[in-house]
């Protein structure tokens, strides 16, 4: 299967509509799952690849929850203690703004989707990204991690496509360490961020984890780099400077991933411009905030950054980029976290909250 259209990311922005994200068929993934697929391809420009690398490195360098005094307290996983990083592989979910620059939504610190993305790349004749991920793990640690998906989750994931079925364990309702796990085996445990009970049975593995566990999905890094704003009351929600009304924004629970705990509110103008699918009312926004405040004491909010505007016959008009990065620690003398951008995928959906779903279409994002 060859790509139909190659689109350089330098031609994309959230202010102009582009024709892409066309569904050309269904792609078989894993466990009987399939996904609408497009052979249109986005190629990251060198500028955008560098921007993604810079943002991913900045997020990683500032990752970790805060203690009572506001000091950063990273979780003491193996990868944190050995490399000073929350993870060796991250995924930056992002868009391109009106000025043509990459804007980050979040850094996924224990990202799924590598296997699916590898499948998408191979379907258009690209070499894929899974081998680069495997080599990165073995170069950094000497082995591939064993992936355990918490039995508290309702489904497994695509990690067997990356680490192999013998290096993977998921059984719904079962929260135990596999008997086959060697004493020196490094691990990745994928639970449900924000639900501590989903980690029961796995916590003793934290000292050999190559990504976050308890702190997976922690949003604190976003406030440290100015990406998110911490809010502790309704009065601290973002307000439009001209109208004085509550502005369009994404409310985020302090701990969560995969769009869990995210509430997107749009003002009247933005609803008319971008549609309102999966957005919430102002009442719902405030109720959600108060719920987060009751549970966590605070939440985060982010200025609404529209997805890249697209059009196709299925009406999937909101498109975001999900780009995988390989992380290494900064040089011994300091400096920025070293980041290699290896490509990813785009997801286009009719709703304004864009996340992998049965009504989304996916396609490849490649680097030169």
pLDDT along the chain (368 residues), means of 10: 78 86 82 84 97 98 91 96 97 96 96 94 94 98 98 93 96 94 96 94 97 95 96 97 95 83 94 90 97 95 94 84 96 83 95 78 92
Give per-residue burial for 321-359: e unless 16+ CB within 10 Å, then b.
Answer: bbbbbbbbbeeeeeeebebebbbbbbbbbbbbbbbbeee
As a whole number of angstroms, the distance between CA 355 and CA 341 comes to: 21
DSSP state of 167: G
The residues, ordered by sequence, that sit 6+ positions from 243 with a Cβ below 8 Å of its Cβ are none
Asked whether the beta carbons of 33 and 327 are under 8 A apart, the reply is no
pLDDT of residue 35: 82
- What is residue 4's predicted lDDT score, i.e. its pLDDT? 67
Contact 170, 151 (CB under 8 A): yes
CB-CB contact of 47 with 13 (8 Å): no
pLDDT tens digits, one per residue of 285-327: 999 999 999 999 999 999 999 999 988 777 888 999 999 999 9
What is the per-residue pLDDT for 69?
Answer: 87
The pLDDT assigned to 16 comes to 83
Q: Are 121 and 323 in contact (CB under 8 A)?
A: no
Token pair of 13 as six digits: 């922005």
Rounded Cα–Cα distance for residues 224 and 303 (Å): 15
What three-state secondary structure class fits 92?
A: strand
pTM beyond 0.75, yes or no:
yes
- The whole-angstrom separation of Cα 152 and Cα 128 is 31
Closest by Cα among 362, 350, 250, 365 to 305: 250
Q: How many CB atoms lie within 10 A of CB 233?
A: 10
pLDDT at 346: 95
The whole-number pLDDT of residue 332 equals 66
Give CA–CA dist 276/14, Å, rounded.
Answer: 16
pLDDT at 104: 97
**Could you tell me how many residues make up the chain?**
368
- How far does the chain reach from its first CA to its final CA, in angstroms? 20
Structure tokens at 358: 């049965």
Cβ(3)–Cβ(124) under 8 Å?
yes
């Amino acid at each position: 299967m060859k790509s139909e259209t190659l689109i350089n990311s330098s031609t994309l922005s959230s202010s102009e509509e582009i024709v892409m994200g066309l569904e050309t068929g269904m792609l078989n993934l894993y466990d009987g799952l399939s996904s609408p697929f497009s052979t249109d391809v986005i190629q990251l420009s060198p500028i955008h690849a560098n921007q993604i690398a810079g943002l991913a490195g900045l997020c990683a360098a500032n990752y970790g929850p805060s203690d009572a005094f506001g000091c950063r307290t990273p979780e003491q996983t193996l990868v944190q203690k050995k490399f000073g990083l929350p993870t060796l592989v991250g995924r930056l979910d992002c868009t391109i703004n009106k000025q043509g620059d990459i804007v980050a939504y979040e850094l996924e610190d224990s990202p799924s989707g590598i296997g699916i993305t590898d499948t998408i790349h191979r379907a258009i004749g690209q070499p894929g990204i899974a081998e680069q991920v495997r080599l990165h793990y073995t170069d950094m640690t000497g082995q591939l991690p064993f992936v355990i998906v918490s039995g508290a989750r309702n489904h497994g994931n695509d990690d067997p496509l990356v680490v192999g079925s013998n290096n993977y364990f998921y059984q719904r309702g079962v929260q135990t360490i596999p008997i086959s796990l060697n004493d020196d085996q490094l691990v990745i445990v994928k639970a449900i961020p924000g639900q501590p009970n989903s980690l029961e049975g796995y916590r003793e593995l934290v000292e050999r984890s190559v990504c976050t566990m308890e702190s997976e999905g922690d949003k604190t890094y976003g406030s440290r780099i100015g990406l998110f704003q911490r809010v502790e009351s309704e009065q601290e929600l973002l307000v439009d400077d001209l109208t004085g009304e509550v502005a369009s924004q994404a409310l985020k629970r302090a701990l969560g991933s995969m769009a869990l705990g995210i509430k997107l509110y749009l003002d009247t103008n933005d609803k008319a411009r971008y549609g309102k699918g999966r957005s919430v009312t102002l009442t719902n926004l405030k109720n959600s905030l108060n719920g987060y405040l009751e549970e966590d004491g605070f939440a985060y909010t982010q200025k609404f950054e529209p997805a890249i505007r697209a059009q196709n016959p299925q009406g999937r008009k909101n498109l975001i980029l999900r780009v995988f990065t390989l992380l290494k620690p900064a040089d011994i003398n300091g400096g920025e976290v070293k980041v290699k951008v290896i490509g990813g995928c785009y997801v286009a959906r009719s709703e304004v909250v864009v996340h992998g779903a049965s009504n989304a279409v996916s396609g490849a994002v490649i680097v030169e």
